[in-house]
A and B are shown apart, each in its own frame.
Chain A
Amino acid sequence: MGQENKLIKKIVDRYDGDVGMLIPMMQDLQAEHGYLPTEQIRCLRNRLKVPLSRLYAVATFYSSFRLAPKGAHEVTLCMGTVCYLKGAPSISEAIYKEFRVEPGGTTRDRLFSFQAVNCVGACALAPVMIVDGKYYDAVTPQFAIEILHGLSPADQTVDTAKKGDST
């Protein structure tokens, strides 16, 4: 835990070890990693001397905390009625076959997080896939795989990490 322990110590000292500032502490921790790693939470428990169950309760209660890393890219597949009729399920299957990721999950290499939503309201473009906010229309399984293979790798784009001190 050595290296990580230093980070936890820095964060805890930043708030004078005040447990009341647990949420800002966890926010600072998440800013470093993009999510809250389990081991870091354990280190935090060791430092603050509060039960692990309490830290877990706080980490899962507030919407801003993530316990699993998000992918570098966000992929959304529309499963609304029209997209469904026009073949969205086969796109989802193809993505699974190629990247081994199901809706709600993130690829192992954290390249992208994949979610299915119920109608993005762009039925004229069906089937619709949204990648990092960009809309792709009339998507086929093959086209989808092509788009996803073209995404830049995870280690270059951990977006939310803030290095250095934050106030």
Chain B
Amino acid sequence: MISAGTKLNSPADLESFAQSLHSSEDKVSRSVRVCIGTGCAAKGSRRLYELFLEAVEQSGKDIQVQAKCVGCHGFCERGPIVVVEPGGIFYQRVEEPDVAEIFRETVLGGRVVQRLLYEDPGTGKKAKEAEDIPFYKVQERIVLAGNGRIDPTKITDYIAEGGYSALAKVLSLMTPEEVLSEVKLAGLRGRGGGGFPTARKWRSCREAKGAPKYVICNGDEGDPGAFMDRSIMEGNPHSVIEGMLIGAYTIGSEQGYIYVRNEYPLAVEHLKTAISQAREMGLLGQNILGSSFSFDIRINRGGGAFVCGESTALMASLEGRPGEPRAKYVHTVESGFRGKPTNLNNVETWANIPQIINQGGEWFAGIGTEKSKGTKVFSLVGKVVNTGLVEVPMGITLRRIIDEIGGGVRDGKSFKAVQTGGPSGGCIPAEHLDARVDFDELTKLGSMMGSGGMIVMDEDTCMVRVARYFTEFLQKESCGKCTPCREGLAQMLHILNRITRGEGDVGDVEELGVLAELLEGTALCALGKTAANPILSTIRYFRDEYDAHISDRRCPAKECRGLFRYEIDPEACTACGICLKDCPADAITGEKKVPHVINQEKCTLCGTCWEKCPFTAILKV
């Protein structure tokens, strides 16, 4: 009798265990799934889970009810999220007082609690299930399929959903060459930003001379605004482990590492639990599932450095050194970690492998575009109505993502640009919203898909400030080893600071272009080489904003302090006197019942009046 924790000695063991799990799952008639991903947990979802557990306990045993904690659904701004089966009733923004009602009405009574359902901000329509929510409707969740269904801390959940069956198939029916063929047919490309064909990387590592060989999972997700990998590592850690097992088998590796950034403690915890449970059941370690294949995984953590997302820097960090990149004239598949052949892939890349093996490379290649197959998880954030993680087929347009899934720009503002690809990427303006998102299209437009971050910006965003923000970020994160990145970023930031302070000079834009070209050609690693992309893309599409800052000392978006004026709208002003009283420069004059006026000479542009006016009578001009 196989139970959780028993060693599985063959693929047949795994299959019968999975079946036994199904039959016991069938006995459960109702279940309530509480998301405990970092986003929902920050809003107290763990406590909700505890309360539901208590409710289940007190409910008596005649109905088989189950309370389960699950991983990130991706719709974090609507958390805490609770889903009740049967029916897939999707509750959002659940609070502690709601638990009793949900349990009584929905779990036991099968009735819907209307006020906790998602309501479309535009139409007011309520959605009962996730599929009814526009955010989820257009998505095709393959990598994220398990999130929200599987308890990430229980390997049995993963196995019950077919987990590790791909591994069993590979070990019993496929040679490494056959696995390579399948992955090649699938056309999978690296999901961390590089987009390198995965099968080709695996093959190079397989054929490289040297031993031992290593496989590494890059969990250092550092792009500000991106949290795809976090949700996979937290919500479905076994999908990554299974992917790595298959990859290791193909390449001929017995030791793997997962490098998780320091800022993801829950991901580390769930991965550790998953690894230890997998070891217990003989899915990691010696002679896996009774075969001659042995493989184990160690987890290492980052120390707080964005640059460690770069593969050679990550490997240096794994060796207990500062995360400084090195030359890649000799590729890491030949000489990487400890100078040995190493295959490094991103979390999402690994997580795609089990499905490719189970459903076939041809199935995968049927999704997406000609050169970019499969789906991609994006993190849609910023000034959209619905923010969260979105998994869609490659080739979908930006417009569909932002409007249909994201619900459009929030607060009735107009769309200005969407920043993609993190600090290595660029901003794409409205005229290109029909661009199809894949590895190559966005690059043509001066940006890149990168790891999947999509930050939506509206009319109130100053694009020069955006460039400045990313440049400052990169300067802080630069390892400092090579001259162009270390000195060049400092020079570019210096120029951007002058421009946003109204001290720009004619020729500054050209100077930025010269520096950008220098960095691209001479920097040692991808961080430095692509560092100027945010600047270049904003110059390309928003040159007028740069010119306004430099020639007119004016910020069109009215964000840069000192580069726009405050004026009182005489029609809206009620002469309440609040602004006059609070102005630290005594720049406002006015008597009772007479609209007040700001003396522009005295005004220090602090914005106090704008903040304090109860009648929105102060305008930014």
State the A residues within 8 Å of B (CB). Answer: 18-24, 26-27, 50, 54, 57-58, 61-65, 81-82, 85-86, 123-124, 126, 167
Contact = CB atoms under 8 A, between A and B. Distances in A.
A61 B320 contact: no
30 contacts: A19-B319, A20-B319, A21-B300, A21-B320, A23-B262, A23-B300, A23-B302, A23-B303, A23-B320, A24-B300, A24-B301, A27-B262, A57-B321, A57-B322, A58-B303, A62-B262, A62-B302, A62-B304, A64-B304, A65-B303, A81-B604, A81-B606, A82-B606, A82-B608, A85-B584, A123-B608, A123-B611, A124-B608, A126-B584, A126-B608
Contacts of A24: 300-301
B323 interface: yes
A27 to B, nearest CB: 7
In the A-B complex, list the 3 residue pairs whose CB atoms are closest, starting with the nearest.
A62-B303, A22-B320, A63-B304
Interface residues of B, number: 26
B43 interface: no
Contacts of B301: 23-24, 27
Contacts of B269: 167
B604 A82 contact: yes
A61 B611 contact: no
Contacts of A65: 303-304
A124 B611 contact: yes
Given A82-B604, A86-B584, A124-B611, A54 B321 contact: yes
B320 A19 contact: yes
Nearest to A27: B301
A85 B424 CA distance: 39
B565 interface: no
B604 A61 contact: no
B317 interface: yes
Contact of B303 (A27, A82, A85, A126): A27
A93 to B, nearest CB: 20
B320 A20 contact: yes
A139 to B, nearest CB: 14
A63 B318 CA distance: 16
A50 B319 CA distance: 12
Contact of A58 (B322, B604, B611): B322
Contacts of B607: 123
A64 B262 contact: yes
Contact of B584 (A22, A82, A167): A82
Nearest to A85: B584
Given A27-B301, A123-B584, A167-B269, 6 more contacts: A20-B300, A22-B320, A22-B321, A57-B322, A63-B304, A63-B305
B7 interface: no
Nearest to B257: A20
Nearest to A58: B322
Interface string B212-238: 000000000000000000000000000
Given A24-B301, A26-B303, A62-B303, A167 B272 contact: yes
B612 interface: yes
A124 B303 contact: no
B585 interface: yes
A26 B321 CA distance: 12
A27 B260 CA distance: 14
Contacts of B585: 85
B317 A85 contact: no
Nearest to A22: B320
B87 to A, nearest CB: 38
Contacts of A61: 303, 305, 322-323, 479
Interface string B305-325: 100000000000111111100
B618 to A, nearest CB: 12
Contacts of B262: 23, 27, 62, 64
B302 A124 contact: no
A65 B272 CA distance: 23
Contacts of B305: 61-63
B586 to A, nearest CB: 11
Contacts of A81: 604, 606
A18 to B, nearest CB: 8
A64 B606 CA distance: 34
A133 to B, nearest CB: 15
Contacts of B54: none
Contacts of A86: 584
B582 interface: yes
Contacts of A64: 262, 303-304
Contacts of A19: 319-320
A81 B262 CA distance: 36
B613 to A, nearest CB: 10
B320 A124 contact: no
Nearest to A119: B561
A62 B608 CA distance: 38
Contacts of B319: 19-20
A13 B532 CA distance: 44
A70 B319 CA distance: 29
Contacts of B304: 62-65
A67 B604 CA distance: 40
A121 B304 CA distance: 27
A86 B604 CA distance: 12
